[in-house]
């Protein structure tokens, strides 16, 4: 896993669910670039996404209603 992927996981661990823009701002990167890393992490099942809120989170933070 690359440095940026590790930074994303650390951000989600520290702050909880975050939007694409929040993550991009924290990393100082463009949202389009960050989205590619998020998609990769999602495909590896290291993060989840709530399509309703568009927030990314670690799997154990997934909210159930």
Range of the domain at 53: 3-59
Name the burial class of residue 51, with classes exposed (0-12), middle (13-18) and buried (19+) by CB atoms within 10 angstroms of its CB: exposed
Please report whether residue 17 resides in a domain: yes
Query: Can you give the pLDDT at residue 60?
Result: 80
- The count of domains in the chain is 1
Position 61 confidence tier, pLDDT thresholds 50, 70, 90: low
Query: Is residue 64 scored above 60 in pLDDT?
Result: no
β-strand partners of 49: 56
Query: Is residue 57 scored above 90 in pLDDT?
Result: yes
Give the predicted TM-score (pTM) of the model.
Answer: 0.87
Residue 26: which CATH number?
1.10.10.10
- Can you tell me the distance from the alpha carbon of 11 to that of 65, in angstroms, rounded to the nearest whole number? 24
Phi and psi (nearest 5°) for 51? -65, -25
Phi and psi (nearest 5°) for 18? -135, 155
């Amino acid at each position: 896993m690359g440095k940026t992927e590790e930074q994303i996981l650390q951000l989600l661990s520290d702050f909880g669910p975050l939007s694409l823009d929040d993550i991009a701002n924290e990393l100082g990167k463009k949202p389009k670039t960050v989205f590619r890393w998020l998609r990769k992490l999602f495909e590896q099942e290291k993060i989840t996404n709530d399509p309703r809120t568009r927030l990314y989170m670690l799997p154990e933070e997934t909210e159930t209603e």
